[in-house]
Every structure is written in structure tokens, then in C-alpha cells.
Structure 1
Amino acid sequence: MASWFGSSGSRSYRLLAESEAMPLLLLFFLLTLLGQAQEVEVSLFEGGEGVDFYRYAARRLEESRPGVSVLLEADPAMADKMRMRVLEGNLPEVSNASIDIWALIDNGDVQPLDSWLDQKAVDGESTWRETFLPGSLSQFQKDGKTYGIPLVYVVWSVYYNKALFAEHGWETPRTWPEFESLCEKIQQTSVAPIAFQGRYPFYAKALVEHTYFQQVGRERYLELAQGQPGCFDNPEMIDSLGTLQTLSQQHFQPGFQGMSHTEAQLEFFQGRAAMLFCGSWLFSEMRDNIPEGFELGSFALPLPVSDRADPAAQYATSGYFFVFKSSAHPDLG
């Protein structure tokens, strides 16, 4: 998932466009980009939101275009599979896997989508571009071209056990120093301060990028997203990584390094940790494992002590879809 920042006024956790239009949006791009291809290969990361929606969209595509079939593969480890396919030069038509997409964009392997984004949407009034939340398309834009289509919008938060906080009189913090002070109080109990999904660097990336953005602002953050030189060798990045290091060494639950996302999240819901960093897919991902009566609370990711820090800027992520020109049907891509 790629990340971008929006104001607190857009913190609702919802699809990027109206829910009834979303299957038509996906169908629209597949139909117009892939033309008469007999088989459309779609390689999906299977995350907390599930894949039922995408299977529904695939069925709609097949129903609307006889003779076209959708080969849809979904896997939590799709990013690893896609990296191998990049090395092999064997890319699917469409994927949302989290890989080094900028290298592929710079290499000319990704299809710009602007000519379709600027066509009329299903309501006949707006363009497709206008149906997306402000800022969501800018994440994968370069030289006036748009390469990625986001479908799901989620905001990262600190989730906490409300009953546990009420029992001990703990207050939710706003800054990292306040957060670390809270963790020290929690450590005086039998509960770990933070359950953490240590097997997946993706969760650490969110904390580092959030803290970095709040110190350097939008322009330098975009340079980081594009891997520009010097992004990791500066005081703000060192401070952001230092925040993560302090949390991991002093406040993460023992054994976090070997925990998957669901294992760490289960530790939190079973009351063995007081807090958890996660995106807003948490409830749908863990709904079958949340104890009855569990009081789930959340607060914004803490801010670093910086004159640039903006509490209205929230760290959000989205699953972006890309169409590959170097797929099996480059002439139709």
C-alpha cells in the first residue's frame, strides 16, 4: 500500500468513490485498457479488506464482455511473487502488489491512465478523476501523468483497550514524548504497552514515514516516496528511525519479532497488550477474533516535537492498481 496525507476532515474510512460505482470503475478501466484480450490476469495482494469485492468485479467483467475471462489470483504474499515476476519480465495486466513501482514507471513499464481518468464517469457528469478524494491520485503522478488508481482508503491509528485505559486512568497522548511516558506507566502493570506485527516491515514503515512527514513537510516526503538521494541521510530521518528504535527496544511486547500481523493483533484483543498500531482495516481483518464486549478505542499517531507538525495531517494508505505495458498484451495495455 502506498501512503498519502489528508486533512482530518477526510478521516472517514470509506472507499475512494461511491460504493455502487466502484465495481463499474474497475470494470471500466479493465474494459477500456485491455480491449479484446481473451484473458485478463489480475494479481492481488490479499489484505484485511478481503477479496470478495474484486471477485465480484471480475464476474461483472466476464458477464459484460463474453469471451473475456479474468484470471484472478489473491495472496497475502503477492508482493514477493510480483518481485520474482519483475525479474523474469513476466508481468500480469493488473496488480495492486506493493513493489518498487517507481522503478517500473521510470522504465516505461506502467501504463499512464490520464486519458481514461478524464472521461465521463457513470453519472455522466463528473470525470473519473473527480470521483477520487483530493490528493489520492497524486501519489503516483509524474511529469503530468497518473499511473496508479486507488480503490480503498484507510487511516492509520493507535488502537487501544478502552476498558484497560479507564481502569488505570491513562490518558491518550498527542506527542511521541507523551506516548513514551504512557508506555512507561503501562510497563508497571502485567500488560505489554504495544503489540507489534514484527514479521512485516510494512507496519514499521508507517510509523517512520508519519514521523518524517511531520518534520519535513510534503515536498521532502514525496522525495522520500520516490527514493531520491539523501532521503535517509538527514537529521529528521535519523530522528524518525530513532523513535521506532526506542519503541521496539523498550515498549514492544516481548517476542514481537516473530509475530505475524494477525498473531500480534490477537495478543492485543486478548488483553495481553494495551495498544496496537494498525490501519482501519483492523476490525474487518479480526472481526471473528474480537471478544464480545471488547471496547476498542483509537487515537491519532503521535506527533514529533517539531514546528512543522500538523495534527490535521493524518497518515493514510491506499491499495493502488497499476496496468503494465510490459504484460502479455502490451499492445492492449
Structure 2
Amino acid sequence: MNAHPSRRTLLLGAVAATALSACATSGADDDDTSAKGDATAENPFGAPADAPLEVVVFKGGYGDQYAIEAGTVYKQKFPKATVDHKGIQRVGEVLQPRFISDDPPDVVDNSGAGRLDLVTLVSSGKLTDLTELLDAPSLDDPAKKVRDTLMPGVVEEGTYDGKVLVLNYSSVLWGIWYSKSLFAKHSWAYPTSWAEMLALCEQVKKAGIAPWTWQGKFPEYMNDPLISLAAKAGGHDLVKSVDNLEPGIWKSPAMLAAADAVHQLAARGYIMPGSEALSHTEAQNAWSKGQAAFIPCGSWLEGEQQQVTPAGFDMVLGTVPALTGADKLPNGAVMAASSESFLVPAKAGNARGGLEYLRILFSQKVARGFAQNSKALPVVAGATDGLTLSSGLASTAETAKAAGANLFGYRFRTWYPALAKALDDATGELLTKRTTPDKWAERVQKAADAVAADSSVTKQKR
């Protein structure tokens, strides 16, 4: 999954997608015409020793130091090669023309606002199948394949039409953030049910602090706790039904109850006034200053806020509380996915080098550096073992460990951007009390039905 304005949102529009599709070639199905050297145990893909390597990375809340480090290791391995690293914003706007002209970089981190339309890249055959990388020996332990070093779900999330075309780098958990020190000061306990959440919000309000704020300009932030509540109540079957566009799922009892739960925050005056007009950074900065007790966000929050968060704030990630007393998923269940979508274009001039770069990127050394610098969990298993972790990253790691197999994740955002946009718009209205939970459900269900009926939209199935 990918992040909000700094991590995941707006895919390229229909015009851009149409242009990309219109100029598509068979891409990955063509013969490999990129540069190639001799394959050896140390160089399993036959990356040419002297061919240049171009890497384009989204430089957002995680920064790009980890990608630079991977390039440094690549350069040490191939001293005659040049590594052209570019950390940029708006990846789609910059790279779309190059994909259309079949002159893409060798490695791309397709993340952030305005990223390339991944579904179109897939259907146009613009991406290299990464199975060869997954089956190659890992850099750290040649006896272990790269695929065996990754956390559960990473390969599945990058698989389209039976091919692994993307590998995400950061393991993201979504929840509700709060200051451990603020809670200790007021003797507040993090709630385990939504009824407890509403009761605590009343206490927080009486203490002169806004219970919640949210990134109002980007309603998908508040969608995360909403659809998490629904998943807990309805279980994995509900999550799959949403992704599979099954009729009536957005009007189901679990989904309606989740919408009502979130709506209560607005209805009872538990949201900081003016939140609906705030950007993600503005809302997060207000929260970091102690103006609100809770804020919804993914686990990249600490890294994004590390320059402005006061010492001793001790931010921690809390799981979304149970919705009912009969939830199908346990209280510790958490919405999780991976983000920072790395890919090797099919028409890359040095695709062999691109695969080797990714083998280096997914090594313990680079992953540990990512955890330390970006305050985020990499998808490389065991990469944080033995590290002294910050409060936010430690809580994220503990939450993931406690959840165990009780992780869940939706995929409709990537598969069906039109549905994601309709959900965002509807939730924005719900949180500003301009619509009701029932009307919210009708509106989103109508959008889901429209996508299901649209024969021009390629359907995915879980």
C-alpha cells in the first residue's frame, strides 16, 4: 500500500493513463535487450560491470538515504559503473514521458502523490518480472533466497496477473497515534473498545485538549480507522468482499457501524475545530504540539515529524480499538501493508543492474540503516533486531509482533482509484457532519457498483 500525500494518494488521472496505454508495447514479454554481463555466484543476474545505473526514488517522509546507501554498495561492487541517483517528488509527472518513449530509468521507487499509475504500467507490460530476483541468493546469506528474507505479504502485494512486478520496501501499520507522556501526565489509558474511546474523549475535552485532529484536506487518513473498525467487526471476509466489489458490502452492518463510530467523533464535538481545512503536516504539527490527543496515521508518522516533535513527546502507535463485543478479529489485529514500490522497467537500459541494485537494497545492512534513519520498519525480516529503537518505531514493531497472523489489508485503493476517491470524498462529508452514515454507505456503494459495472476497468480478485 502506499501512503498519503507524502506516502500514498492520487494516482495519475485518466488522461495520463490513456496516454501511457496508447503508447504501450509488450514490454516484459519482449526479448531482453538491456546490457548484460556474465552471471556468477557473486553476480547472479549478470549485471554488466561498466554499465551506468540510473535510480529514481521518491524523496518523501522516509528520505532517500537508504537508497543512496544501496547505490554506494553497488558502486563498490562495480567500480567501473556510474550510479545516477535522483531523489524527486511527483514521480509520475517526471517519468511518464520516459515510460511512453521506452526510455525509463533502471530502478524506480513509485511512491508519493502523483505517482505513476501502477495498474496501467502492469497492463501495458512496462515492468520486469521480479521472480528471478526473489529466487536469487540473498546478499547476506547465499543459502537463503531473497524471497525468504521478506516479511509475509510482501510478495503477494506485488503480484499482478501471476507475476511479481513490484517489491515494496517499508512495512506500514495503520492506527491511532498518541503521546505516551501526555497520557501518563493525565493518567489516561489507551482504550481497547470504541465505547472506551468515546468515554476517554470526554475526559480529554474536559482537560482543555481537543480529543482528535485529522488531516482534513486528505480524508483518506480518517478512512484508515474507519475501514479498520469495519474489518475488525466483519473479519477477513469483509475485507475480501470490499476488494472483490461484492454487492452491498458498503451497506453491511459492520461497515455501517464503523461509519457511525467515526461519525460520533464529529457529532459529539471531539474533533479539533478547523481540522477539516488542515493539510497532513498542519494537522500533525498541531498534534505534536499537544493541541490534540489523537491523530490517525500510518507508521511513517514518526519519521515525517522527527524534525518538529518536541523532546519527551514519546509518540506511540495504538491499534484501532474493538468496534463491538463480537468482533471477528481480535483487539490486537491491525491494518498493515507495505509501501515504497520499487520496480525495474521492462525497457530499462540496465535491467540486470537494476535487479542487482534491488538485491542490495533488500539486504540487512541497508534495511537497518533505513530503520534507524527513517524511523520505519523495513520489510526485511529481522532488520531491527538488536537496534535501539525510538518510541514510535518501537511501538510499531511491538504492535506488529503482537498482531502476529492477525494482520489485514485492503487492496481496492491500488486496484480501483475511482472507488478510493469516492470513499475519500464521502468520508470528508461524514467528518464535517454534512452527511449521515446511511447516506455515506449509499454513496460509496454506488461508486463500488459503478466500478464493478465498468467493463473498461480491469478487475482483480482475492
Partner Cα distance (2:199, 2:333) in 1: 23
RMSD across aligned positions (CA): 3.7
CA contact (8 A) 2:59 2:87 kept: no
2:328 equivalent to 1:308: yes
Q: Which residue of 2 aligns with 1:319?
A: 339
Identity %: 25
Moved more, 53-62 or 155-164: 155-164
Partner Cα distance (1:40, 1:262) in 2: 34
Quickly say closer, same or farther: Cα 1:153–1:73, change in 2 above 3 A: same
2:86 equivalent to 1:72: yes
Moved more, 241-250 or 138-147: 241-250
Instruction: Please state how far the C-alpha of 1:273 moved relative to its aligned partner.
Output: 0.9
CA contact (8 A) 1:31 1:61 kept: no
2:133 equivalent to 1:116: yes
Quickly say closer, same or farther: Cα 1:127–1:326, change in 2 above 3 A: closer
2:156 equivalent to 1:138: yes
Q: Counterpart of 2:294 in 1: which secondary structure?
A: strand
Partner Cα distance (1:237, 1:81) in 2: 38
Partner of residue 229 from structure 2, selected from 211, 235, 248? 211
**Which runs of 5 or more residues in structure 1 are unaligned?**
4-27
Show CA shifts across 1:33-58 (max 9, x none). 97689554434333332211111212
With structure 2 as the length reference, what TM-score do the two structures score?
0.56
CA contact (8 A) 2:182 2:313 kept: no
- With a CA cutoff of 8 Å and minimum separation of 6, indicate the structure with the bigger relative contact order: 1
**Which runs of 5 or more residues in structure 2 are unaligned?**
4-40, 355-462
Q: Which residue of 2 aligns with 1:50?
A: 63
Matches for 1:28-177 after TM superposition, within 5 Å: 32=45, 40-65=53-78, 66-75=80-89, 77-78=90-91, 92-93=105-106, 94-97=108-111, 100-122=117-139, 123-177=141-195
Partner Cα distance (1:276, 1:257) in 2: 13
Quickly say closer, same or farther: Cα 1:241–1:307, change in 2 above 3 A: closer
Q: Which residue of 1 aligns with 2:272?
A: 253
Partner Cα distance (1:259, 1:56) in 2: 35
Partner Cα distance (1:112, 1:253) in 2: 47
Partner Cα distance (2:93, 2:256) in 1: 28
2:207 equivalent to 1:189: yes
Instruction: Please state how far the C-alpha of 1:74 moved relative to its aligned partner.
Output: 2.7
CA contact (8 A) 2:178 2:293 kept: yes
Quickly say closer, same or farther: Cα 1:328–1:112, change in 2 above 3 A: closer
CA contact (8 A) 1:194 1:275 kept: yes
The residue type equivalent to 1:69 in the other structure is V
Partner Cα distance (1:138, 1:304) in 2: 28
Partner Cα distance (2:316, 2:152) in 1: 27
The residue type equivalent to 2:121 in the other structure is L
Instruction: Please state how far the C-alpha of 1:129 moved relative to its aligned partner.
Output: 0.5
CA contact (8 A) 1:324 1:330 kept: no
CA contact (8 A) 1:214 1:308 kept: yes
CA contact (8 A) 1:91 1:324 kept: no
Show CA shifts across 1:86-135 (max 9, x none). 78987544223155534433443333211220121121111100001122
Partner Cα distance (1:302, 1:282) in 2: 19
Instruction: Please state how far the C-alpha of 1:316 moved relative to its aligned partner.
Output: 2.3
Quickly say closer, same or farther: Cα 1:156–1:39, change in 2 above 3 A: same
Partner of residue 283 from structure 1, selected from 302, 305, 308? 302
Q: Which residue of 2 aligns with 1:271?
A: 290
Partner Cα distance (1:267, 1:31) in 2: 50
Larger radius of gyration: 2
Quickly say closer, same or farther: Cα 1:135–1:89, change in 2 above 3 A: same
CA contact (8 A) 1:224 1:231 kept: no
Show CA shifts across 1:73-92 (max 9, x none). 332x4466667877898754
Instruction: Please state how far the C-alpha of 1:217 moved relative to its aligned partner.
Output: 3.2
CA contact (8 A) 1:195 1:253 kept: yes
Quickly say closer, same or farther: Cα 1:275–1:288, change in 2 above 3 A: same
With structure 1 as the length reference, what TM-score do the two structures score?
0.74
Partner Cα distance (2:127, 2:234) in 1: 29
Show CA shifts across 1:250-307 (max 9, x none). 4332222332333222212212111222333333332232223334344222222243
Quickly say closer, same or farther: Cα 1:264–1:224, change in 2 above 3 A: same
The residue type equivalent to 1:114 in the other structure is T
Partner Cα distance (1:252, 1:52) in 2: 36
Q: Which residue of 2 aligns with 1:25?
A: none
CA contact (8 A) 1:55 1:72 kept: no
CA contact (8 A) 1:37 1:329 kept: no
Partner Cα distance (1:82, 1:214) in 2: 39
Q: Which structure features the higher share of strand residues?
A: 1
Partner Cα distance (1:212, 1:37) in 2: 53
